[in-house]
Structure 1
């Protein structure tokens, strides 16, 4: 399998991955789950970091909040980065706290110039503290707040201002496009692929409501065909580290590896086509 294709390391698979060391390119973990460095979880991560590159994916920094950065959270993240030496560190284009009180979700941002300046400043301070670039992930969205620009424009400008990279979650993009009538092609054309350091692929849930269908980013199912189509489109333009993300109703490891194998096949086919075109 290509070194660009990774899977999420989740507790139900810890022992099997330790014993079999499957041939994936890298592993991803949620940063906050490993801030405690004296339990079995960190022991497993430290062991596997000796076999695989590791990407740290944060969910609790609340970069879009009006609250200041939490210095304790930032210290713990910096300590984890120093201990694991990850290949990438990422967070979300969202917020989840106000007045020191936290909501257990990734809430939508108002895409305004004021929010752009505020979040860019926060990202710059995080990057200075970590001594490395931060990737920012586009969220799935169920509510659009009034703003002055679209999400893709906001994210692209955030990368230009702060020097951060982009974590392009194609499942989130598809979910938001259906929920809000967005155009995926326009979105991808606005994001500079040179700033994209990682791609996420996952499954969603289709919730039927009286007023229609709502797609929810649950990470609890195989990657949907429209998301694979978006991935083929991106692979035709660039080869980017790609994660199969599965967090709920976690299947047996072979199912996860089969999804990773499909991503690998799509990426490999795109690379072959690119090489053949270069020799014409």
Structure 2
């Protein structure tokens, strides 16, 4: 699967409102697209046809929203099968999900942090394996931003590493989330980054955030990428190698040309890292 996409590539989250423009002429800066399958599953008709036109032409990743891998509720097998069908139908290259949960006796409409406990490690690892068996492909999990850590026994770093090992799964490394959590919870972003297992990283996410106060950042995906996050991405390339990198922008969407400037910057850093090695 990986050989089908160049590690030196930059991608963009595809929003529905971008469809007409991208169908007409895809900017050269965009090497691949990423979508949340939940945002496309319910639709048929023209929207589905337009989407298929793009998935037939360009590489696509999926980044899910509602698998709820850490939920105490039973795994929604029907939903996982729908996802499999969607991934197969559109020949999606990679499927990732948040290391969080969004259901407990009903949908919570927010990504909640999983308690950092040994028990949760086993619970989540078992569910990841179950999902991978049904999907017949890897489930890549993403480190998430969190604002409270209820019942914490392990550090975020130890928790994440334990799950990667026990589930033997891949990681979507969100560089912005490392930075946001480091500021909010007072840890060293570089040390956290260094501790990540290079061989498990499938691809990177990078985004902007909102600074509420000096010591509270909110992960909004609604801004340009700030300097500290660019620096951390550069660091990630040097420590773990250049891999496909997606710019997440969900709100305050500027024109496509402006989004492509951020993608050009990703490629500049990828190139610079290549020249350093």
Which category of TM-score, normalised to the shorter sequence, fits these structures? over 0.9
**1:148 matched to which residue of 2?**
153
Per-residue CA deviations over 1:7-41 (Å, capped at 9, x if unaligned) read 11112211111111222211000111121251433
Shift of 1:3: 5.0
Query: Gaps spanning 5+ residues in structure 2: where?
Result: 1-5
User: For the Cα contact (< 8 Å) 2:222–2:251, is it kept in 1?
Assistant: yes
Q: The residue matched to 1:121 in structure 2 has which SS?
A: helix
Offset of 1:160 from its aligned partner?
A: 1.6
Q: Is the 8 A contact 2:116 2:149 kept in 1?
A: no
Q: In structure 1, how many angstroms separate the alpha carbons of the residues matched to 2:64 and 2:39?
A: 9
Is 2:56–2:90's contact at 8 Å kept on the other side of the alignment? Answer: no
Name the SS for the 1:219 alignment partner. coil
> Do the aligned residues in 1 keep the contact of 2:7 with 2:242 (CA within 8 Å)?
no
Match of 2:3 in 1: none
TM normalised by structure 2 equals 0.93
Query: Alpha-carbon deviation of 1:245?
Result: 0.6
**Deviation (angstroms), 1:145:** 2.1
Partner residue of 2:74 out of 64, 68, 79: 68
Q: Provide runs of 4+ in structure 1 moved above 3 Å.
A: none
Task: Report the CA distance between 1:66 and its aligned residue.
Answer: 0.5
Distance (Å, rounded) in 2 between the aligned partners of 1:33 and 1:90: 15
Among candidates 241, 259, 264, match of residue 261 of structure 1: 264
Using the alignment, how far apart are the partners of 2:37 and 2:271 within structure 1? Answer: 30
2:50 to 41, 44, 55: 44
Question: SS state of the match for residue 182, structure 1?
Answer: coil
For residues 219-264 of structure 1, the C-alpha deviation after alignment (integer angstroms, 9 at most, x for no partner) is 0000111000000101113011100110011111001111000000
Which residue of structure 1 lines up, in the alignment, with residue 94 of structure 2? 88
Cα distance between partner residues in 2 of 1:58 and 1:152: 22
Partners of 1:186 and 1:39 lie apart in 2 by 49
**Structure 2 partner of 1:244:** 247
Moved more, 105-114 or 146-155: 146-155
Q: Structure 1 stretches of 5 or more lacking a match? A: 275-280
Deviation digits for residues 127-169 of structure 1 (CA, Å, limit 9, x no counterpart) = 0000011110111111122322222222222122112100111
Q: Which residues of 2 match residues 198-209 of structure 1 at below 5 A?
A: 198-208=203-213
Cα distance change, pair 233–17 in 1 and its aligned pair in 2 (3 A): same
Give matches, 1:6-155, under 5 Å: 6-23=11-28, 24-99=30-105, 101-155=106-160
RMSD in angstroms over aligned alpha carbons?
Answer: 1.5
The answer as to whether partners of 2:34 and 2:63 remain within 8 angstroms in 1 is yes
Q: How many residues align?
A: 270
TM-score (norm 1): 0.92
Relative distance call for 1:68 and 1:175 in structure 2 (3 A) is same
* Structure 1 CA distance for aligned equivalents of residues 152 and 7 of structure 2: 40
SS in 2 for 1:50: helix
Confirm or deny: 8 A CA contact 1:28 1:55 kept in the other structure.
yes
Return the structure number with greater relative CO, CA threshold 8 A, min gap 6.
2
How far apart in 1 are the matches of 2:120 and 2:47? 36
